[in-house]
Amino acid sequence: MKLIILDRDGVINQDSDDFIKSPEEWLPIPGSLEAIALLNKLGFTVSVATNQSGVARQLFTLDTLSKIHQKMHDTLQAVGGKIDSIFYCPHGPDDNCDCRKPKPGLLLQIAKHYQISLKGIMVVGDSFRDLVAAQSVDAKPLLVKTGKGERTLAKHAEELKEIVVFPDLLSLAKAL
């Protein structure tokens, strides 16, 4: 199985420091949907691992999160792409769960779901915690400059010197 794991906010859709709280606020990053369709054409199964602490913060409900994800699926389907699975952490930063990135819980759930090792599996993120989670399970972290990517690169330049960086998800997909 060729699997690639994507963060959601900042990789697939526009990010917001105020959270994506409704389907109307979910807006794809230009080229990201086409990138996922290309990944599918290249034989990749696409999974999403996303922190969604807005649920714990009571900014939106699980039902609203489901509607946001349905919009993502529908919008993606319109361009011939498909996300096979979405794994999310609904907990807040102080909940001390094992699924909130940078902890590896979401990635381990994905490994269990597909019954595979994550060694060498590409994990694409825009934040340092995405990359730390990937490294902790021996996956291959990749950084995109969209979302918080530029900030992440500036703040963690020394720690990221071994990490491959792409302008956006479409550039990454085309490089494969």
Count of CB atoms within 10 A of residue 141's CB? 20
Q: pLDDT digit string (tens) for 107-133?
A: 999 999 999 999 999 999 999 999 999
pLDDT at 108: 98
Marked catalytic residue, from 9, 15, 126, 168: 9
Q: How far is CA 60 from CA 53, 54, 97, in A?
A: 9, 6, 19
Cα 108–chain centre separation: 14
In sequence order, what are the residues at sequence separation of 6 or more whose Cβ sits closer than 8 angstroms to the Cβ of residue 112?
Answer: none
Each residue's pLDDT tens digit, 12-54: 999 999 999 999 999 999 999 999 999 999 999 999 999 999 9
**Cα–Cα distance, 37 to 22 (Å, whole number):** 24
pTM of model > 0.75 = yes
Catalytic residue among 7, 126, 130, 168: 7
Helix (H) or strand (E) holding 134: helix 128-136
Pick the CATH number of 2-175 from 3.40.50.970, 3.40.1670.10, 3.40.50.1000, 3.40.1280.10: 3.40.50.1000
Among this protein's residues, is 7 annotated catalytic?
yes
